[in-house]
Amino acid sequence: MTNPLLDAWRTPFGLAPFDRISDEDFAPALDAALETHKAEIAAIADNGMPADFANTIEALEAAGRDLDRVLSVFFTVAGADSNPRREELQRAFSPKLAAHYAEITANKALFARIEAVWAGRDTAGLTSEQHRVLMLTRRGFLRSGAALTGAADARMKAIKGRLAELGTAFTQNLLADERDWFMDLGEDDLAGLPDFVLAAARAAGAEKGRDGPVVTLSRSLIVPFLQFSDRRDLRERAFRAWVARGENGGATDNRAIAAEILALRRERAALLGYDSFAAYKLETEMAGTPAAVRDLLMAVWEPAKARAEADAQVLEAMMAEDGVNGPLEPWDWRYYAERRRKADHDLDEAALKPFLQLDRMIDAAFACANRLFGLEFRAVDLPLYHPDARAWEVTRQGRHVALFIGDYFARGSKRSGAWCSAMQAQAKFPEVRAPIVINVCNFAKSDPALLSWDDARTLFHEFGHALHQMLSDVTYESISGTSVARDFVELPSQLYEHWLEVPQVLAEFATHAETGEAMPQEMLQRLLAASTFDMGFQTVEYVSSALVDLAFHEGDAPADPMDLQARVLDELGMPRAITMRHATPHFAHVFAGDGYSSGYYSYMWSEVMDADAFAAFHEAGDPFDPGTAKALEAHILSTGGSREAEELYSAFRGRMPGVEALLKGRGLAA
């Protein structure tokens, strides 16, 4: 019997045949794909012909297609619809894959061929894109330890394997804590909860097999519970469980894992000759150095902290009026902030949510992409990995551009957060491939599905990443789509959020779930006026997390990361009623893998650009100005990593921006 993961996929759009794939197919498919890839690498390394771009760099680009297909399917389901078998497979695959890729970058014969192509680059007649791919390939090998020998080479391989194991364990521990904790709500526990929260709590209860509503640790449920529940004791209980993810003791505790990860990263950087892991990691980013990151974060920290402290005094006074003694606590902030928002802006989340239907917000994201870039979206019925997932064919002027998959609802089998990934990246070599892109979110499930304003922003954010993948137009997959500097990758996503706030978009798509009426103009104006409400709180919880991440990686690895976290927050003067957005034991951005390690600041670095980039449309007098949209696609969305990020942005805007646009956009400017 053949393995459907390795068969030729004669399916619409080249999508994986999910209806024919079982969990038992993954392990044998991976083993076979690894052997194929090893043979391909050996053929490149042992080629008797003189090394050139085609037989070495392009050959590397073409290798590993079977492996890519197997992993794209496996990691899609492992992240969005896990189960015990998939978790077991992930624990087995992680060290195996780390060892495989470490073996490739440690292949001395292969690296010698790459060096030979590099040495002859100026006379090889390479295009600018080929030169970029060559440089990035060589740099990637060097930064992976290709030039190491002897004991250092062996140690690097061991470090990579162990880090892969630890990242998987961290992720699975966090998922287990989020999945296993819930709080039953009796009739006396529902005071203050609007209908949309009750509907989400009942749906969560049904998923957990309970007779009534429950609160889970899904952000889409616990945040509105903290906003609306009149029961301070229950808010405290839920909040403490939420922030304790990963530090509950026992088998799922992540604190020792975090410490070992930081120690191994420090050792890895030292083997490569860097003073710190942050210095190693930031070398290839726009920021360049830890000092540049710190300068940006501290420029934002002080005004954000001042705003948050002023807001805290207002909220504490409201609490005192309620007869609640004692200081404002973290489980009080969202509750009193929501009441203040209603008082100051006459904006009630319960009244707002019926106007933010999931399906209408999806339509809005699609409509903006149509007006800006001419993309059209047609729903298609395809076998997918979960009943909640939906698919659309994306076309432009009748030509297929991409397949887009959306998986929007929270469930116990899905890791927290929201993300975009490409199950197939755009490329023209070794054959033309259209992207298959997926957005995964964790919105509360109800009928109809209603979003908070933050949920709607998340939907637009992830769709901005999807557009970066869909509109990619390069030759080589290694520089396709979102294969860019980490502190540049958030620019398209954060920029796209701005179109959600365009009044004409909301006027058309923010329609009431029951009446179908458009959002009243007065409510729309109040909503937009409140866009920077509570921005001190939001900025403080984010920047504190980014500064702790930086501190973890700037010097020697801390023996006790929790102690260093506490010291950093103390030195910053962290407001007592605000916690880090991601405390160390559940800081998946930083510890689930290397992606955002030393790089959580990236969202803010990109935000400096996104505020300035959207200003280009304002300067043109139209948020859908065709010329500006064309330039955005030409210089940023279609170019992938074919040039340095600063060069791409400067080509679009004519210059790099300063931090002033960010402070103004967050309402923190002096």
Round to whole Å and give the CA distance between 349 and 587: 28
94: domain range?
12-147
Tokens 């029951």 identify what position?
514
DSSP of 59-126: HHHHTTHHHHHHHHHHHHHHHHS--HHHHHHHHHHHHHHHHHHHHHHT-HHHHHHHHHHHHTGGGTT-
Residue 5 counted as domain residue: no
Quote the strand ranges of 243-323, DSSP E: none
Round to whole Å and give the CA distance between 311 and 333: 10
Residue 167 counted as domain residue: no
How sure is the predictor about 28, in pLDDT bands with cuts at 50, 70 and 90? very high
Residue 164 counted as domain residue: no
3-state secondary structure 460-506: HHHHHHHHHHHCCCCCCHHHCCCCCCHHHHHHHHHHHHHHHCCHHHH
Beta carbons within 8 Å of 249's beta carbon, 6+ residues apart? none
Beta carbons within 8 Å of 42's beta carbon, 6+ residues apart? none
pLDDT value of residue 661? 83
Q: Which sign does the torsion angle of CA 345, 349, 351, 356 carry?
A: positive
Mean pLDDT of 398-417: 96
pLDDT value of residue 669? 86
How sure is the predictor about 597, in pLDDT bands with cuts at 50, 70 and 90? very high
Q: Give yes or no for residue 660 having a pLDDT over 90.
A: no
CA atoms within 13 A on the CB side of 659: 16
Q: Are 308 and 540 in contact (CB under 8 A)?
A: yes
CA distances from 125 to 54, 129, 135, 334 (A): 12, 12, 15, 60
How sure is the predictor about 208, in pLDDT bands with cuts at 50, 70 and 90? very high
Round to whole Å and give the CA distance between 568 and 577: 16
Q: Give yes or no for residue 293 having a pLDDT over 90.
A: yes
pLDDT value of residue 106? 96
How sure is the predictor about 46, in pLDDT bands with cuts at 50, 70 and 90? very high
Q: Specify the number of domains making up the chain.
A: 4
pLDDT value of residue 665? 87
Q: Are 524 and 507 in contact (CB under 8 A)?
A: yes
Give 606-619 pLDDT, tens digit per residue.
Answer: 999 999 999 999 99
How sure is the predictor about 546, in pLDDT bands with cuts at 50, 70 and 90? very high
**CATH code at position 468:** 1.10.1370.40
User: For the chain, first and last CA: distance in Å?
Assistant: 69
Give 507-534 pLDDT, tens digit per residue.
Answer: 999 999 999 999 999 999 999 999 999 9
Last residue of a domain, one of 575, 600, 625: 600
Q: How is residue 619 written in tokens? A: 């300067």
Q: Which of 285, 338, 462, 541 is catalytic?
A: 462
Q: Are 156 and 173 in contact (CB under 8 A)?
A: no
Round to whole Å and give the CA distance between 588 and 585: 8
The mean of the pLDDT values for the chain is: 97
Last residue of a domain, one of 549, 570, 600: 600
Give 322-359 pLDDT, tens digit per residue.
Answer: 999 889 999 999 999 999 999 999 988 889 999 999 99
Round to whole Å and give the CA distance between 565 and 569: 6
Q: What residues form DSSP beta bridges with 427?
A: 433
Q: How is residue 419 written in tokens? A: 């993300």
- For residues 305 and 272, membership in a common domain is answered with yes
Beta carbons within 8 Å of 65's beta carbon, 6+ residues apart? none
Q: How is residue 650 written in tokens? A: 């400067």
- For residues 205 and 189, membership in a common domain is answered with yes
Round to whole Å and give the CA distance between 151 and 168: 26
Nearest 5°: phi and psi at 271?
-60, -30
Give 51-62 pLDDT, tens digit per residue.
Answer: 999 999 999 999
Q: How is residue 124 written in tokens? A: 């090889």
Round to whole Å and give the CA distance between 635 and 609: 14
- Exposed/middle/buried for residue 87 (C-beta within 10 Å: 0-12, 13-18, 19+): middle
Q: How is residue 623 written in tokens? A: 């948020």
- For residues 305 and 212, membership in a common domain is answered with no
Q: Cα torsion for 557, 561, 563, 565, to the nearest 10°?
A: 100
- For residues 518 and 577, membership in a common domain is answered with no
Residue 135 counted as domain residue: yes
Q: Give yes or no for residue 1 having a pLDDT over 90.
A: no
Give 136-179 pLDDT, tens digit per residue.
Answer: 999 999 999 999 999 999 999 999 999 999 999 999 999 999 99
Give 611-659 pLDDT, tens digit per residue.
Answer: 999 999 999 999 999 999 999 999 999 999 999 999 999 999 999 998 8
Residue 382 counted as domain residue: yes
- For residues 515 and 368, membership in a common domain is answered with yes
Tokens 């504490």 identify what position?
316
Residue 360 counted as domain residue: yes
Q: Which sign does the torsion angle of CA 413, 415, 419, 425 carry?
A: negative
- For residues 484 and 386, membership in a common domain is answered with yes
Round to whole Å and give the CA distance between 88 and 84: 6
**CATH code at position 19:** 1.20.1050.40
The helices-and-strands tally (H runs, E runs) of the chain is 27, 7
Go through 4-29 and write b for each residue having 16 or more CB atoms within 10 A of its CB, e for each that does not: bbbeeeeeebebbebeebeeebbbeb
- For residues 382 and 485, membership in a common domain is answered with yes
Q: How is residue 661 written in tokens? A: 């646009």
Q: Give yes or no for residue 670 having a pLDDT over 80.
A: no
Annotated active-site residue 541? The verdict is: no
- Exposed/middle/buried for residue 575 (C-beta within 10 Å: 0-12, 13-18, 19+): buried
Q: Are 275 and 266 in contact (CB under 8 A)?
A: no
Give the SS3 label for residue 564.
helix
Round to whole Å and give the CA distance between 286 and 272: 21
CA distances from 70 to 9, 507, 545 (A): 12, 44, 34
Residue 176 counted as domain residue: no
Round to whole Å and give the CA distance between 423 and 638: 18
Residues written for the chain? 670
- For residues 480 and 367, membership in a common domain is answered with yes
- For residues 85 and 140, membership in a common domain is answered with yes
Round to whole Å and give the CA distance between 360 and 403: 20
- For residues 473 and 367, membership in a common domain is answered with yes
- For residues 570 and 464, membership in a common domain is answered with no
Residue 171 counted as domain residue: no
- For residues 51 and 127, membership in a common domain is answered with yes
Count other C-beta atoms under 10 Å from residue 251's C-beta: 8
Give the SS3 label for residue 578.
coil
Mean pLDDT of 4-20: 96
Give 448-503 pLDDT, tens digit per residue.
Answer: 999 999 999 999 999 999 999 999 999 999 999 999 999 999 999 999 999 999 99
Mean pLDDT of 539-547: 98
Q: Are 524 and 504 in contact (CB under 8 A)?
A: no
Last residue of a domain, one of 202, 227, 245: 245
